[in-house]
Amino acid sequence: MIKNLLSLNDLTKDELISLLDFAENFIDADGKFKKDNLFPDKTIANIFFEPSTRTKCSFDIAGKNLGCSVVDFNSENSSVSKGESIYQTVDALSLMGVDLCVLRHPNSVISELAEYLPEMVFINAGEGSTAHPTQTLIDLMTIRQLKGSIDNLKITIVGDLDHSRVVKSFVEGVSNFSIESLTFSGHPSMCSNYMDPVIGSYEPNLDIAVTDADVVMALRIQHERFETDMSLDLDEYKHLYQLTTERISMAKGDAIIMHPGPVNMDIEISETAYQSENSVIRNQVANGVAMRMAVLARFLSQ
């Protein structure tokens, strides 16, 4: 059994499914999260080197729901601004009794850190454009809740795939299942790494890509790029790649629309599509707390 959650490639299919099952246990019959004092002796640290609301609050609330002490490490007010290395910082937290670090970083540093600090438990909360494993666990949990199973589905992903850690982890996670198809779509300048993917296929025409889909996942795009990259035009982008109710109507009638958030409303997805019955974006947010409770409980219990 693995000690850290760095990448979904490290989990066996059984371990992954057992996390999906475990997360459901933290939601009670009224849809509320269970607040039990399960880990009063444990201290976890939230260490975020990138701005975040959802993921950080989600882990914070999950940790408190489990009865842990949660240390909030604010990289801006810390000695990291004195030039202390992240290695020294996390080593110090470990020596201070922190049992588990939830870490987000703009670069791919977590695996190396975990190697140098074998006594600390690491949960990757988003690393560069490499991995965001808890987001994929949430997405698979949400798909399974709505579709009953992850097998035999037609899944389409659209957006800025090249910069997305979400899609990297999703491909790792979904490769455990017998999906019917996995279609990548989006502006060619944002999909260069997915033109000839290891699994699935690239379809530049989103209308074709969403046809008969069971699951359509939109990814966040960096809308600042439209101001700096002359080859991109926002209106044209929206015309070609925005998820609209028209496009959703080409998917299966019970197709679900997903987005890891936060949404750039009326860019990646129209507000009407966001508010539609097909949208399960808000379910993803709610499942986030349950899944992070499951991940923390699982990796604190070793």
Cis peptide bond upstream of 133, omega within 30: no
- First and final CA of the chain: distance in angstroms? 9
Q: Which of residues 41-70 bind its own copies (CB under 8 A)?
A: 41, 43, 45, 48, 51-54, 56-58, 60-61, 64-65, 69
Site membership for its own copies, residue 190 (CB under 8 A): no
- Smaller CB separation from its own copies, 101 or 174: 101
Q: How far is the CB of 84 from its own copies (least distance, A)?
A: 4
In this structure, what are the phi and psi dihedrals at residue 256, rounded to the nearest 5 degrees? -110, 145
- Neighbouring C-alpha atoms within 13 Å toward the C-beta of 272: 8
Q: Least separation, in Å, of the C-beta of 131 and its own copies?
A: 19
Q: CB under 8 Å to 21, separation ≥6 — which residues? A: none
Minimum Å distance from CB 159 to its own copies? Answer: 15
**Residue whose tokens read 């069971």:** 214
φ and ψ at residue 171, rounded to 5 degrees: -60, -40
Query: What is the rounded (10 degree) CA torsion for 44, 164, 287, 272?
Result: 140
Which stretch, 8-16, 190-198, 200-208, 284-292, contacts its own copies (CB under 8 A)?
Answer: 284-292
**Does residue 285 belong to the site contacting its own copies (CB under 8 A)?**
yes
Considering only residues 90 to 129 of the shown chain, the ones binding its own copies according to CB under 8 A are 91-93, 95-98
What residues from 261 to 280 belong to the interface with its own copies (CB under 8 A)?
A: 261-265
Tokens 């870490």 locate to: 103
In the DSSP assignment, the letter for residue 194 is G
Choose one: 183-191, 205-213, 244-252, 285-293; the region binding its own copies (CB under 8 A): 285-293
DSSP3 helix / strand / coil % (the chain, rounded to 5): 45, 15, 40
Considering the rule CB under 8 A, would residue 35 count as an interface residue with its own copies?
A: yes
What are 27-36's contacts with CB under 8 Å, separation 24+?
Answer: 27/290, 31/286, 33/61, 33/65, 33/289, 33/290, 33/293, 34/65, 35/64, 35/65, 36/65, 36/66, 36/67
Given the complex with its own copies, which of 197 and 226 has the nearer CB atom? 226
Under rule CB under 8 A, residue 208 binds its own copies: no
Find the binding residues for its own copies in span 215-254 (CB under 8 A): 223
Candidates 80, 109, 146, 250; binder of its own copies (CB under 8 A) is 80
Residue 162's DSSP bridge partners are none
Task: Please tell me the count of residues contacting its own copies according to CB under 8 A.
Answer: 54
Min. distance of Cβ 59 from its own copies in angstroms? 10
Judged by the rule CB under 8 A, the positions of this chain that interact with its own copies are 32-33, 35, 40-41, 43, 45, 48, 51-54, 56-58, 60-61, 64-65, 69, 71-74, 76-85, 88-89, 91-93, 95-98, 223, 261-265, 282, 285-286, 288-289
